[in-house]
Structures are given as structure tokens and as C-alpha cells.
Amino acid sequence: MEHTDLLIDWSRAQFALTALYHWLFVPLTLGLTFIIAIMETIYVKTEDIWWKQTTQFWMTILAINFAIGLATGIIMEFEFGTNWSNYSWIVGDIFGAPLAIEGLMAFFMESTFFAMMFFGWEKVSKKMHLLSTWFVAIGSNLSALWILVANGWMQHPIGMTFNPNTARNEMHNFSEVFFNPMAVNKFLHTISSGYVLASVFVIGVSAWYLIKRRDIMFAKRSIIVAASFGLISSFYMLISGDESAFEVAQKQPMKLAAMEGLYKGEERAGIIAIGILNKEKKIGDKNKTFLFSFEIPNALSFLGYHSLNAFVPGIEDLIYGNKEHNLISVSQKMKEGQIAVNALTLYKKFKKEGNVSKAKEALRTFRAHEHYLGYGYLKTPKDAVPNVALTFYSFHTMVGLGTWFLILFILVLYFAMINEIENKRWILYLALWSIPLAYVAQECGWIVAEVGRQPWAIQDLLPVGMAASNIASNSVMVTFWLFTILFTGLLIAEVKIMLTQIKIGPEAH
């Protein structure tokens, strides 16, 4: 068992490493493609050569980011087969379908038109080139759609039936999977956050030019487009974030409790705007949850249930149960799950022996307790609790930075419109240093989504420990460090190439 725990930990670490590195590249592509399409549309409408030069510069930055992001994405998909083969076997029929559609439709469209967009300036008409640019933007976001449909299904698995004969989940309703509310909100929130990052990136780089007093026309035009796009995206991100929180409250209440460090459920629960968790706090003890906190009253009840007076269950309510609010304890769910696991084992045994009547009886028992099948593999009730501190701080960092970006867009756009932006050096420096903060916000968002779901690979259905491949932990350790070196090298290469292109400036185009 010690070897198994070590294998699971290293498998999780390797996938987390790959996902976090991959997400350093994806959001910039999602947003920058649309910013470029907007800029080129202005060029085609006005025939102003300055807009063509601006478009081509940002297109070069996009190409660098796209190429390196592609490498990490391919490796991540391979890891489903190498490190998570049990997961791939059990849910491959559902999880594989969106990924296959993404590869066949969105990625090929994106890649095909990318070549025309990048190399076709003098080879196709202006309108055809503009069309290819818009297709790249749409294709990149369609790629994200199908991947996030798959991820949303992991957060809230619906539209499938468990086949006890093959021990696999099989899709029976594609529209349920595709229109899964969790998937829809995750897609909308994720792409809007990518648009915000790209806007911050363009504004920050343009601010550097203004600080250096060079390429003024290029920088100011880029800032106006990016700030406008970012401001609209920020408001939409707030709306999609609200809807995402509502879905989390309904489908993943433990995640919501961890996001707010809520141990005991409350009516009219508030949101912790700023807080420091007490490291000594344990489940079931009487220690204070926070060393310091500032709370917005009733906000969590409204966010999670759209009612100021709603009861929000805490971690202890979900672990130990709460009869008043019809919450079943994890220990009870584990008993139900163990009955399902044993019934499934007996069903296979009786079917193999040819005992039809007992096989049918075992199958009926399994179906009656199937809903809690995943809990049958947990060791203790506390295993159902994610890392509270990591989830809490990641969530609040993400929300805080998202608020700052909204303020930044308003300030930058205002001073750009009154033609004073180049004289407000304090704003320019804030914009420049907001670039790394945008990446921090993105990574925190994914930490909340994935760490907050633990211990589940598939929510309530498949624990991470049951999803891992049965391979030597040493092989995962070795590839972890190899990927660390590879991804770090790719990141350093991208940053150096981008900095070189930025220093050269748009005049080279």
C-alpha cells in the first residue's frame, strides 16, 4: 500500500506539473487571437498601414506562444494513457469523445488557418486573410470548448450508465454531457479569464513601449483595443464566475466549503474578503478557523444559492451529516459504496459461475447503491476533504486579482481615451507588473477547480487512487523530473524569444 500511495502522489504531481505549465500558454492564445482579429478588422476597414503593422507584431507573439503551448498539450493527453490508464478504461467512452471531436474539428481548423494567417499576407486577399484570422480565433476557442466539456463532466458526471459487465461508464446521452451546466459555465468562465489575461499582456507590453518612449502610436492603439476588450471580458467573467459558484454549491458543496474555509454550516453565510487561516484548525475541534478575517455578510448564501438567508453547509456538516438539512454523512455514503462494491464483485462471480438468479439479485443490490460507488473506495471520511488552505488561498487570490484587473482596465482606458496615458508612468508600471499577476490568477483558478475536487478524479464516482495506472513509481518519478526540465526549458525559451521580439518592436514588420 505504501508503494501505491507513492505512485499516486507522483502521478498526481506529474499531471499537475504538466497542466500548470500547459496553462501558462493556453489563455494567451485564447484571448490574443481575438485581439489580433479585431486589430486586423480595423486595418481592413481603414486600410491604415499602422494597424497592419500592429496586427503583424502581435501575430508574431502569438506564433511563439502557440508553438510551445502545443507541445505541453500533447504530452498532457498522452499522460491519460500512461499514468491514468484505469481512469481511461473506466470513463474513456465519455471522456474520449469530446477530446476526439476537439482534435478532428477544432484543432485542425485552427492549425490550417493558422498557416494562412501567418504566411498568407501577400498570397491571399485582405478579406480572405481576415477570415482566416477569425477562424483561428474561433478554432482555438472551440478547442477549449471540447476540452472543458470533458473537464466539466469530471466535475459533474451525467449522461452515462455504468456497465457492470465491463466496469466502464458508457455514454447514453451526448447532449447531457455537452450541455452539462458545470461544463457550460466552466467554458465561459475559462475563456473569459483567458481574454482578461491576453488583454493584461497586451497592455503591459504596450506600457513598456510608452515607458521607453518608443513606438508611441503602436502602443496607444494596442492599449485602447486591449483595454476595451479586457473591460468587456472582465464584466462577463464576473457573471460567469457567479454562475460557476452557483453550480459548485449545488454539485460540489465540499469544494465551496473549502473555498471559503467554512467548517460549520451557516444560514446567511458571509464571504471572507480577506482572511488568514488558523493552521491549528482541525475537523471537529473547537479551534478558531481564522486568525484574522473580514467578512461580507450574507454574500456566500447569495453566491451559492441566490438567497441571502440560505443555509450553506460546512466541511463538518458534509463529513458528519446534518439531519436538519438532510445531509448524509460520508461514513454512511462509504457504507453504501461498500455495499455497491461488494455487490459488483458478487455479480461478476455469479455470472462467471452461471448462477443467473444470484447474479440478478447482486445486480439489483448494486443498482440500489450505485450512486455512492466511489465512496466505497475511501479509507476514512476525512479523505473526502480537499486541501482547505490551498483551495482557500488560491480562490481568494484569483478573485482579488480579477478585481484588480477590472480596475486596471478602467484606469488605462480612461487615460488612453483622454490622451494622457503616456504621462501616467505609475499606471504604466502597474500595467507592466500586472502581466505576471495575470498568470498567477490563471493558475490559482485551476488549482481551485482541481484541488477543490479532491479526492475525486470523477466527482463522487472515481477516487484518484483508483484511477492511476499500475506502474512502477520510479518511472513516474523519473519522467516527472524530465518533464520539469523540458517544460522549464520551453518556458525560458518562450520568454527569451518573446523578449527579443518585443525589444525589436513593431517596426520590423
Maximal CA-CA distance, the chain: 84
φ, ψ dihedrals at 157, nearest 5° = -75, 115
Distance from C-alpha of 459 to C-alpha of 252, rounded to nearest angstrom: 8
Distance from C-alpha of 261 to C-alpha of 392, rounded to nearest angstrom: 6
User: What per-residue confidence (pLDDT) applies to 248?
Assistant: 93
- Ramachandran category for residue 159: left, alpha or beta (phi over 0 → left; psi -120 to 50 → alpha): left
Query: Which three cell numbers, joined as nine digits, stand for 491?
Result: 518556458
pTM of the predicted protein model: 0.92
Helices 126-155 and 181-211: angle between axes, nearest 10 degrees: 130
DSSP states of 373-425 as a string?
Answer: GGGGG-SSGGGG---HHHHHHHHHHHHHHHHHHHHHHHHHHHHHHTT-GGG-H
User: What per-residue confidence (pLDDT) applies to 106?
Assistant: 63
- Residue 304 burial (CB count, 10 A): 25
DSSP states of 260-304 as a string?
Answer: TT--S-EETPPEEEEEEE-TT--TTS-S-SEEEEEEETTHHHHHH
Q: Domain map of the chain by residue range?
A: 26-61+84-250+393-476+495-508, 253-385
Distance from C-alpha of 272 to C-alpha of 266, rounded to nearest angstrom: 13
Distance from C-alpha of 259 to C-alpha of 266, rounded to nearest angstrom: 15
Closest CA to 393 of 318, 455, 448: 448
Task: Return the half-sphere exposure (C-beta side, CA atoms, 13 A cut-off) of residue 424.
Answer: 18
SS3 215: coil
Residue labelled with grid coordinates 451557516: 266
Task: Return the half-sphere exposure (C-beta side, CA atoms, 13 A cut-off) of residue 378.
Answer: 27
Query: Which three cell numbers, joined as nine digits, stand for 486?
Result: 523540458
Distance from C-alpha of 67 to C-alpha of 499, rounded to nearest angstrom: 16
Pairing label, strands 271-277, 290-296:
antiparallel
Task: Return the half-sphere exposure (C-beta side, CA atoms, 13 A cut-off) of residue 340.
Answer: 21
For 312-344, give one letter per residue: b (16+ CB within 10 A) or e: bbbbbbbbebbeeeebebbbebbebbbbbbebb
The answer to whether the CB of 374 falls within 8 A of the CB of 424 is: no
Residues in contact with 131: Cβ distance below 8 Å, sequence separation at least 6, in sequence order: none
User: What per-residue confidence (pLDDT) applies to 451?
Assistant: 94
Distance from C-alpha of 434 to C-alpha of 150, rounded to nearest angstrom: 31
Which neighbouring-strand residues pair with 168? Answer: 163
Q: List the pLDDT tens digit at each of the 509 positions of the chain.
A: 444 788 888 989 998 998 899 888 889 999 999 999 999 999 999 999 989 999 999 999 998 888 777 777 777 777 877 888 888 888 877 877 777 777 666 667 777 788 888 888 888 889 999 999 999 898 888 888 888 888 888 899 998 888 888 888 888 888 898 899 999 999 999 999 999 999 999 999 999 999 999 999 999 999 999 999 999 999 999 999 989 999 999 999 999 999 999 999 999 999 999 999 999 999 988 899 999 999 999 999 998 998 999 999 999 999 999 999 899 999 999 999 999 999 999 999 998 888 999 999 999 999 999 999 999 999 999 999 999 999 999 999 999 999 999 999 999 999 999 999 999 999 999 999 999 999 999 999 999 999 999 999 999 989 998 888 888 888 889 999 999 998 999 889 889 999 999 999 887 65
